[in-house]
Amino acid sequence: MMSRYEEMLAELREIVRKIEDGDTGLDESIALYERGSLLVKQCEDLLTTAELKLTELGRD
């Protein structure tokens, strides 16, 4: 079973593929870019949370 992080990365890869394929119109590309930006932020937040947890575990 994929984690939330892995699911978001898979969606980001699909977004990049669609934007780069040359068949995606401008409006759709903009929408995909906006969705991708949100996913990147969510991935960064998950990584920050994981890093904090690991740091706390290292202190115990």
Place 59 in a pLDDT band, splitting at 50, 70 and 90: confident
Report how far residue 7's alpha carbon sits from residue 11's, in angstroms, rounded to the nearest whole number.
6
Q: Which domain holds residue 50?
A: 4-59
Residue 55 burial (C-beta neighbours within 10 Å; 0-12, 13-18, 19+): exposed
Split into its structural domains, the chain has a count of: 1
SS3 assignment, position 23: coil
pLDDT band at 2 (very low <50, low <70, confident <90, very high): confident
pLDDT tens sequence across 4-53: 999 999 999 999 999 999 899 999 999 999 999 999 999 999 999 999 99
Q: Residue 60: pLDDT above 80?
A: no
pLDDT of residue 38: 97
CATH number at residue 42: 1.10.287
